[in-house]
Chain A
Amino acid sequence: MNGLRPDLAAIAAHVREGARVLDVGCGDGALMAALRDQKGIDARGMELDATNVANAVTRGLAVVQGDADTDLADYPDNSFDYAILSQTLQTTRRPDLVLDQLLRIGKQAFVSFPNFAQWKIRFAHMFGGRMPVTKQLPHRWYDTPNIHHVTIDDFKSFVKERGYTIEGEWYLTGEKQRGAAMANLLAEHAVFLLRR
Chain B
Amino acid sequence: MAQNMGEDGRFGLDRRTKLLGPVRLDSGVQFAPVEFAYETYGELNGDKSNAILICHALTGDQYVASTHPRTGKPGWWTRLVGEGKPVDPARHCIICINVLGSCMGSSGPASFDPGTGEPYAMEFPVITIADMVRAQAILLDHLGIERLACVIGGSMGGMQALTWASLFPDRVQSAIVIASTARHSAQNIAFHEVGRQAIMADPHWQGGNYYGSVDQPDAGLAVARMAAHITYLSEEGLTQKFGRQLQDRETKTFGFDADFQVESYLRHQGLSFVERFDANSYLYITRAMDYYDLAEEHGGALAKAFQGTRTRFCLVSFDSDWLYPTIESKRVVQALNAAGAAASFVELSSPFGHDAFLLEAPEMNRIVDGFLKAGGL
Residues on A lying within 8 angstroms of B by beta carbon are: 42, 44, 50-51, 53-54, 56-66, 71, 74-76, 79
Contact = CB atoms under 8 A, between A and B. Distances in A.
Nearest to B335: A74
Contacts of A58: 366-367, 369-371, 373-374
Given A64-B337, A74-B337, A76-B338, A54 B345 contact: no
Interface stretch (B147-155, B158-166, B346-354): B346-354
A75 B375 contact: no
B343 A50 contact: no
A114 B193 CA distance: 56
A172 to B, nearest CB: 31
B346 A65 contact: yes
A42 B312 CA distance: 12
B347 A57 contact: no
A50 B344 contact: no
Contacts of A61: 344, 374
Contacts of B342: 42, 44, 62
Interface of B: 312, 314, 330, 333-334, 337-338, 340, 342-349, 363, 366-367, 369-371, 373-375
A179 B103 CA distance: 73
A44 B367 CA distance: 17
Central interface residue in A58, A66, A76, by most chain B CB within 10 Å? A58
A64 to B, nearest CB: 4
Nearest to B368: A57
A71 B338 CA distance: 13
B363 A74 contact: no
Contacts of B366: 54, 58
A171 to B, nearest CB: 33
16 contacts: A42-B342, A50-B346, A50-B348, A50-B349, A50-B363, A53-B344, A53-B346, A57-B371, A58-B367, A58-B369, A58-B371, A64-B343, A65-B347, A66-B330, A74-B330, A74-B333
Contact of A64 (B344, B349, B369, B370): B344
B53 to A, nearest CB: 20
Nearest to B338: A76
A56 B371 CA distance: 9
Nearest to A65: B346
A71 B348 CA distance: 18
B175 to A, nearest CB: 13
Central interface residue in A59, A60, A64, A71, by most chain B CB within 10 Å? A64
